[in-house]
Amino acid sequence: MDRAHDPKGQLFEQFARIGKVLASPSRLLLLDLLSQGEKPVETLAEQAGLTVPNTSNHLRELRATSLVSTRRDGQRIYYRLASPAVGDLLRSLQDVGHRHLAEIRELVRDYYEDPDALEVVDAAALHDRLREEAVVVLDVRPGDEYEAGHIPGAVSLPIEELERRLTDLPRDREIVAYCRGPYCLFSRQAVEELRAHGFRARRMEDGVAEWDDQGYPVAVGAESTEEIRARNLRRTQEPANTP
């Protein structure tokens, strides 16, 4: 049967379009960034380490297969995942790769696992400790990603600002840092920096998408520096709850 009269063949040809557009590390990286929230092309280029023209070309390919969509705000165009299913597809690809490719497991072991073998905090434990106000949670992603969605009560402290804002953090509580998910290094870098300055710190391996998948609430919007400092001051003046 020729392709023109083979509906199943035509169907799988369309599936293959998705596979073809995903066969690019840069496009996968852009989808990973967009899973944190919508972004303009300039922000995507900066965060992905790509040129703006190159980023635009990749986004054009992703849009041609309906994996991303856009909205216009004045002169600026914002890109976002076309649906939550695209984020699910990306995480499924990562999970399958981790399960079946030894090279991925070796990279994760060498660069992502805690060198001190300290237990990471899972979402359920973090949720309980937040309710007890027994922990300070740091969102160390860029500020635009925090505003797009974050764990309620988390403090926005982008990794590049951490060192100069250490004095804003209370020392009588454990600190838990999180970033974009299991394949993001920001939280590990934050924990290493915090421990080097005498803080008790651990990281949550998952990100906001995984937190949301488990049914926990997600907050949207920014919190002012003044509000953060006021809350932390109150916490340092109150006795810590022990688990």
Catalytically active residues, by annotation: 179
Q: How far apart are CA 188 and CA 177, in angstroms?
A: 8
Listed in order, strand segments (DSSP E) in 107-192 are 135-139, 155-156, 174-178
CA distance 171 to 211: 26
| Token pair for 81 | 């995942």
CA distance 144 to 147: 5
* CA pair distance 162, 138, nearest whole angstrom: 10
- What six digits make up the tokens of 2? 């020729």
Closest CA to 208 of 142, 134, 116: 142
DSSP for residue 150: B
DSSP letter (8 states) at residue 169: S
- CB burial class (10 A; 0-12, 13-18, 19+) of residue 163? exposed
Residue 161 makes CB contacts below 8 A (sequence gap 6+) with none
